Amino acid sequence: MKSNVKQSNREAAFTIVELLTVMSIIVILIGLLVPALNQVKRYAYEVKQRAQLNSIDTAIELFNSEFDGYPDSDALDPDAVPYCGAMKLCEAVMGRDLMGYHPDSIFRSNGMGSLNNNLYPPQTANPIAYRNSLSARKGPYLPLDNANAYQLMDLYKEVGPYAGENFVLCDVFRNVTHLQSGKKVGMPILYYRANTSNTQHDFANPDNPQNIYDYRDNQSLVMLGKPFDPPPDGEPHRLAIETGHQPGYRFYMNTTNDKVLASHTAAVRPYRADTYILISAGSDGEYGTPDDITNYDWRFRE
């Protein structure tokens, strides 16, 4: 009887070996779960990014139906001042001051119209001009809360050739520290309009004047690099420059329409040859890598 009691006590208690076994199983389970959770989080961001591109698509279509054409995306404005596709996209769907697009705009970097009149006057300097300007506006075509519109000078310490007060629409990934608020924000969404009077998609010659898309529309912006990973430590975006290739090569490789290429009979064509292309840098904040999210079938090619 005595020996029986002793035996059941021993069975009820955990030995140190059993405890260690249980603890190591828990550690292994956590090790399995954490990457899975990170993957879920990343997937959620990707879904959110696709939704944002869809709402930008809708906004551009509203602009198109109002003005009978997609917004310009040339790298320069009519005065040859740098004003890239990403900035023109923001002006078209939000207005240069986020209060709506002025129909007399000719997409000048300084917001002036063709008669050197300020289409987007500041409210404080001239309240009457501001009110008149507002009553002429169209849009904004995106809700301000979803636009993620930020001034370039709040994203990059060095804004390169650009006027820093110009806004861009940013993606939903949080890689960049907003220089004013300290909040984490996204990288600018790149915008390229198709030149429908052209016929080529020549990745052997990215500078071919007959190319439907022009990689140079956003090249100077992409050349600014990653604001969260500044030079000399940071690598340039792979969409901008790649060792052994001409600038723009990766843009043309990754916008080539596989379905047309596969036929071997038709000419090489880009995706969305008659509309426009949008590119988000994706979760790594770098343009031209496999995680980029676009409004066409991004199949990353080296």
By CB under 5 A, name the binding residues for Ca ion: 281-282, 284, 286, 289, 291-292
Closest contact distance (angstroms) between CB of 190 and Ca ion is 11
Upper half-sphere CA count for residue 202 (Cβ side, 13 Å): 11
Beta bridge partners of 167: 151
In the complex with Ca ion, the residue whose CB is nearer, 177 or 289, is 289
| H helices present in the chain, as ranges | 2-12, 16-67, 85-94, 127-136, 144-147, 219-223, 249-255, 258-261
Closest contact distance (angstroms) between CB of 126 and Ca ion is 43
Q: With H, G, I as helix, E, B as strand and everything else as coil, classify residue 135.
A: helix
In the complex with Ca ion, the residue whose CB is nearer, 257 or 289, is 289
In the complex with Ca ion, the residue whose CB is nearer, 83 or 191, is 191
Q: Please spell the DSSP secondary structure of 62-101, one letter per residue.
A: HHHHHHTSPPP--SB-TTS-B--HHHHHHHHHH-TTSS-B
In the complex with Ca ion, the residue whose CB is nearer, 205 or 289, is 289
Cα(93)–Cα(247) distance, integer angstroms: 29
Residue 10, C-beta contacts closer than 8 angstroms, at least 6 positions apart: none
In the complex with Ca ion, the residue whose CB is nearer, 229 or 284, is 284
In the complex with Ca ion, the residue whose CB is nearer, 66 or 291, is 291
Residue 269, C-beta contacts closer than 8 angstroms, at least 6 positions apart: 201, 212, 256, 257, 260, 261
Sign of CA dihedral 20, 23, 25, 28: negative
Closest contact distance (angstroms) between CB of 250 and Ca ion is 11
Q: Edge to edge, what strands does the sheet with 293-294 contain?
A: 190-193, 276-280, 293-294
**Which residue is closest to Ca ion by CB?**
282
In the complex with Ca ion, the residue whose CB is nearer, 141 or 252, is 252
Tell me which amino acid residue 265 is.
T
In the complex with Ca ion, the residue whose CB is nearer, 214 or 292, is 292
Upper half-sphere CA count for residue 143 (Cβ side, 13 Å): 4
Closest contact distance (angstroms) between CB of 84 and Ca ion is 18
Closest contact distance (angstroms) between CB of 198 and Ca ion is 27
Closest contact distance (angstroms) between CB of 175 and Ca ion is 10
Closest contact distance (angstroms) between CB of 300 and Ca ion is 9
Given a contact cutoff of 8 angstroms between Cβ atoms, the answer to whether 248 and 200 are in contact is: no
Closest contact distance (angstroms) between CB of 287 and Ca ion is 6
